[in-house]
Amino acid sequence: MIAAEVAWLCFLFPFAGALLSPVLARIHPGLRDYGALFFSFLAALCSVMFIPYLFHPEKLPLESAFVWLSSPIELKVGVLVDPLSIVMANVVAVISFIIMVYSLGYMKGDPSLARWWMWMNLFIGSMLLLVLSNNLVFLFVGWKMVGLCSWGLIGFYNKDEKKYWIGGPPPTKYTTPSHCGLKAMVVTSAGDVLMLGGILIMYSYARTLNILELYETSSIWLPEMAKSSGMILLMSILLLAGPIGKSAQFPLHEWLPEAMAGPGPVSALIHAATMVKSGVYMVARLIPIFFYGYWVAGCSEASYFFILIAWVGAITALVAATQGMTALELKKALAFSTVSQIGYMMLALGVAGLTISSLEGGFTSGMFHLVNHALFKACLFLCAGSVIHTVHSIYMNDMGSIRKYMPFTWIFMFIAALSLMGVPPLPGFWSKDAVLASTLATHNYPLFLLALITVVITAFYTTRFVGMVFHGRESKNVENLKQKGAHLGEAHRTMVVACGVLAITIIVLGILGLPLEHLLHEGFGYTLIEKLHLPVEHATEMSHLLVPLLSVISVVIGIVPAYLLYFSGKLDPAGMLEKHASLKMLHKFFWNRWYIDSFYYMFFVGGITRLFTSVPRYIENPLDKFFHKIIPSIPGRFYSGGRDILASRYGREEVEGAPAEPVVGTSLGFALLLVLLFIAFYLIAMFIRVWL
């Protein structure tokens, strides 16, 4: 077994790669590309070396740290290796490496490749720092840096050429990549700063930021905190704001659909496989604290943490899925799906604390779904990237029937799509089933119902986008391309290989689904129960078949109408919309994203714009006038020498014609007044001193 120190290398290698990129780019383009790839490979290698530990959870957790700051705050910075961080690090590093291989082909010939590799490696390093850090500050450092990288990568095409715009078609507005980057930065930052507030509230009671110490000492500081009523609730809300922002959960989910303005690999890397998972990771990290607080220390406020995140997850899952049904841009459909699937993970983590028996089940199913989703969503996005690359359009109605041109991409995307729907025996089925089962086990039926409806909708929109892209009728765009003699076929071989590797992994994981779930269950369970001594009652066994049966039935309910509409062509989607006014209204509602985005633009962007435009008018300018015109004019009546001096030198007209004219003379006057005042005070002081 390797030492914990190796975990440092996981993120130091990509950071080194990022720093070296501009240097390597000067030497040789090949060195630049393969050098960047090499560093991300090393990161993946280091992460994989920790997998054996998952089979021996009793040897965990490991820590390696050094004193970074001793006063006024004592902080040891280091790495923490436990089942959670091993799983996360492997998801991040391995999938990132595959995506790096893919981007070798996708980004070929781009003029800003050095910048590209730099951002990508910086991103991978930051994400690994986030998941491996042993303390909340460096977790937050990684957190902020992935945010920054996502800003750089979403707005990668920062010249905002028309071909990179997303949104539309008119009347829906287009958005430029740099706008999308800014939007992501601002929205996620709003969550970030609040989360930092939550961390600091935690620190002010616990006086430590080390994750393990926080767990260990929670029996001391949590009851202390519970003494001031509302404090735990406040901390929960603040702490959850970060994950809700970063993982694009309701109500801070609106940035993710726009984040698709970045190049294809970015969408796969940041907005599907890794970065958006950081919120899930953070929630998972915090669960032991709040679980302890609620079920052991008896702080009733701690339960709000779980209730909040479970409901946020369930609502997000539904809201985003409905939007996915109407999306026209392929990547945006996938983005809505990502938001929705992360909602499942949040739901699972939320239900983990709703009853005393659901901790293991909820925790494991949430993380298991995270792993699976990372794989199939990365595969979907990479395939989508290939398709968009080939047909030169982001809209699904510009594709259609391209299965024959891109057979491999079709197969890979199909496999991933089945997994997304939750078709057995693919991994998506196992983990979604686990999420549903753990939700049902809490007997919280509204949550379960929301989750089940989302399964139906997921099946619908997945079938829809596969049908619209690969089946159905050929679109005009494809015909035009064919006429022009454009190359309609598989993309660059690194792209096909990357997608293939992911698809094969999905199948393997599907076959090994149950053993894998068991392994995670053992690992997490051991850490939570044996190491952290959290109390767990084993639940009464539920009927094994009920949940899978419901889940499969829901999938079928979703697939059938979508198949008729988008595969076989037996029903015409546009015609149906025309015929049923209610359907049309619903479509409009979903297409406009429940009007949440428009509301945010109106309320926040519009509101702040109104605020900052009125600030100069109603506050700054009157203040300016008061200080620079009205006050100086008072002594100016007694002393206008300054003006005369200037006037005699530069002509009276010039001086008097100047707009804020009294300022000149009167500030001289004021200055003189102050000097006199000063002398007077000095004399008085001296006098008092002597006299006393």
Partner 1 sequence: MIPHILLQIVVMPVIASVFIFLTRYKTGRKAGWIAGITLLYTTALLCLVCIRVYQGERIYEEYPFGPMINFNLLADGLSIPVALIMNLCCIVLAFYSIHYVEHRIEIIHGELDERTWLMYYTRFFFLFPFFSTGFMGISFSTNLIAMYFFMELLTIIPLYFIMAQFGYSDFIERYKVALMCLFWGIAGATVFLIGILLAYTTTGSFEISSLSALSGNPAVTWVILCMLLGLFTKLAIFPLHVWMPWVHAEHPTCIAGLLAVYANIAAYVMVRVLILPLYNDFKVFGIPIMAMALITMVYGSLLAMAQNDVKRFAACSTISQISYSVLGLGALTIWSIEGGLFFFLSHIMGKAILFSTAGILVYVTGVRDMREMGGLVSRMPITALLWIMGAMMLSGLPPFSTFAAEWIMFTGIFIFGTHGPSIALAIAILGITAVGLTIAYTFWSIKRIFFGPLKPEFANNDKIRDPPVLMWLPLLLLAVVSIILGLYPKPIMDLFHLVLGSVF
Residues in 228-247 at the binding interface with partner 1, rule: CB under 8 A = 228, 231, 238
The angle formed by the CA atoms of residues 362, 367 and 372, to the nearest 5 degrees, is: 125
623 is a site residue for partner 1 (CB under 8 A): yes
Return the number of the residue (196 or 396) whose C-beta is nearest partner 1: 196
Which among 128, 469, 486 is positioned nearest to 281, based on CA atoms? Answer: 128
619 is a site residue for partner 1 (CB under 8 A): yes
Return the number of the residue (210 or 463) whose C-beta is nearest partner 1: 210
Return the number of the residue (72 or 446) whose C-beta is nearest partner 1: 72
The CA distance from 453 to 587, in Å, is 17
In angstroms, what is the minimal distance from the CB of 662 to partner 1?
10
679 is a site residue for partner 1 (CB under 8 A): no
Return the number of the residue (174 or 681) whose C-beta is nearest partner 1: 681
616 is a site residue for partner 1 (CB under 8 A): yes
Burial 519-544 (b: 16+ CB within 10 A, else e): bbbbbbbbbbeebbebebeeeeeeee
Biggest CA-to-CA distance, the chain = 107
674 is a site residue for partner 1 (CB under 8 A): yes
Please select the residue that binds partner 1; options are 6, 16, 65, 203, rule is CB under 8 A.
203
The angle formed by the CA atoms of residues 382, 88 and 40, to the nearest 5 degrees, is: 60
Residue type, 667: S
In angstroms, what is the minimal distance from the CB of 614 to partner 1?
9
* Binding map of partner 1 across residues 369-408, x = CB under 8 A, - = no contact: ----------------------------------------
The CA distance from 306 to 416, in Å, is 31
Matching residue, tokens 């690194």:
494
Selected range binding partner 1 among 463-471, 473-481, 495-503, 619-627, rule: CB under 8 A: 619-627
663 is a site residue for partner 1 (CB under 8 A): yes
Please, are residues 133 and 80 in contact by the beta-carbon 8 Å criterion?
A: yes
664 is a site residue for partner 1 (CB under 8 A): yes
613 is a site residue for partner 1 (CB under 8 A): yes
Selected range binding partner 1 among 264-272, 278-286, 318-326, 656-664, rule: CB under 8 A: 656-664
Return the number of the residue (546 or 676) whose C-beta is nearest partner 1: 676
Q: Which residues pair with 395 in a beta bridge?
A: 329
The CA distance from 395 to 392, in Å, is 9
In angstroms, what is the minimal distance from the CB of 263 to partner 1?
16
Please, are residues 528 and 534 in contact by the beta-carbon 8 Å criterion?
A: yes
Name the region of 174 (left: φ>0; alpha: ψ -120 to 50; beta: rest): beta
In angstroms, what is the minimal distance from the CB of 616 to partner 1?
5
Q: Which residues pair with 79 in a beta bridge?
A: 64, 133
Alpha helices in 512-569 (DSSP H): 513-525, 546-562
Please select the residue that binds partner 1; options are 615, 634, 648, 652, rule is CB under 8 A.
615
Please select the residue that binds partner 1; options are 45, 65, 197, 577, rule is CB under 8 A.
197
Return the number of the residue (575 or 659) whose C-beta is nearest partner 1: 659
Is the bond preceding residue 243 a cis peptide, omega within 30 degrees? no
Crossing angle, helix 493-511 and helix 83-106, to 10 degrees?
150
Q: DSSP character for 113? A: H
The CA distance from 260 to 153, in Å, is 10
Return the number of the residue (581 or 692) whose C-beta is nearest partner 1: 692
Return the number of the residue (173 or 544) whose C-beta is nearest partner 1: 173
* Binding map of partner 1 across residues 124-153, x = CB under 8 A, - = no contact: -------------x--xx--xx--x--x--
Return the number of the residue (238 or 354) whose C-beta is nearest partner 1: 238
CA distances from 503 to 409, 427, 510 (A): 10, 11, 11
Please select the residue that binds partner 1; options are 34, 49, 110, 189, rule is CB under 8 A.
189
In angstroms, what is the minimal distance from the CB of 584 to partner 1?
36
In angstroms, what is the minimal distance from the CB of 326 to partner 1?
29
The CA distance from 77 to 136, in Å, is 10
Please, are residues 350 and 284 in contact by the beta-carbon 8 Å criterion?
A: no
Which residues in 331-461 belong to E strands, given as ranges?
A: none
Strand 75-81 relative to strand 62-69: parallel, antiparallel, unpaired? antiparallel
Matching residue, tokens 């040891």:
76
161 is a site residue for partner 1 (CB under 8 A): yes
The CA distance from 154 to 255, in Å, is 11
Residue 68 belongs to what H/E stretch? strand 62-69
Size of the site for partner 1 (CB under 8 A): 76
Selected range binding partner 1 among 96-104, 179-187, 413-421, 484-492, rule: CB under 8 A: 179-187
Return the number of the residue (145 or 383) whose C-beta is nearest partner 1: 145
Asked whether the CA dihedral 208, 214, 217, 223 is positive or negative, the reply is positive
494 is a site residue for partner 1 (CB under 8 A): no
Return the number of the residue (192 or 254) whose C-beta is nearest partner 1: 192
Please select the residue that binds partner 1; options are 25, 185, 325, 520, rule is CB under 8 A.
185
CA distances from 192 to 84, 239, 596 (A): 22, 9, 21
Q: What are phi and psi of 107, to 5 degrees?
A: -95, 5
Selected range binding partner 1 among 199-207, 279-287, 417-425, 538-546, rule: CB under 8 A: 199-207
670 is a site residue for partner 1 (CB under 8 A): yes
Selected range binding partner 1 among 3-11, 421-429, 565-573, 659-667, rule: CB under 8 A: 659-667
445 is a site residue for partner 1 (CB under 8 A): no
Return the number of the residue (473 or 689) whose C-beta is nearest partner 1: 689
Site for partner 1 in 55-94 (CB under 8 A): 67-73
Return the number of the residue (530 or 654) whose C-beta is nearest partner 1: 654
SS3 at position 572: coil
Query: Which string of DSSP letters, residue by residue, matches 206-219?
Result: H---BHHHHHHTHH
200 is a site residue for partner 1 (CB under 8 A): yes
SS3 at position 255: coil
Please select the residue that binds partner 1; options are 48, 186, 529, 539, rule is CB under 8 A.
186
Please select the residue that binds partner 1; options are 182, 297, 456, 497, rule is CB under 8 A.
182
Q: DSSP character for 54? A: G
Selected range binding partner 1 among 283-291, 413-421, 588-596, 613-621, rule: CB under 8 A: 613-621
Selected range binding partner 1 among 178-186, 256-264, 363-371, 412-420, rule: CB under 8 A: 178-186
321 is a site residue for partner 1 (CB under 8 A): no
Q: Tokens for 464, please give them.
A: 């829809």
Radius of gyration for the chain, computed over Cα atoms and rounded to the nearest angstrom: 30
Please select the residue that binds partner 1; options are 449, 560, 583, 658, rule is CB under 8 A.
658
Q: Which residues pair with 133 in a beta bridge?
A: 79
Please select the residue that binds partner 1; options are 155, 264, 353, 422, rule is CB under 8 A.
155
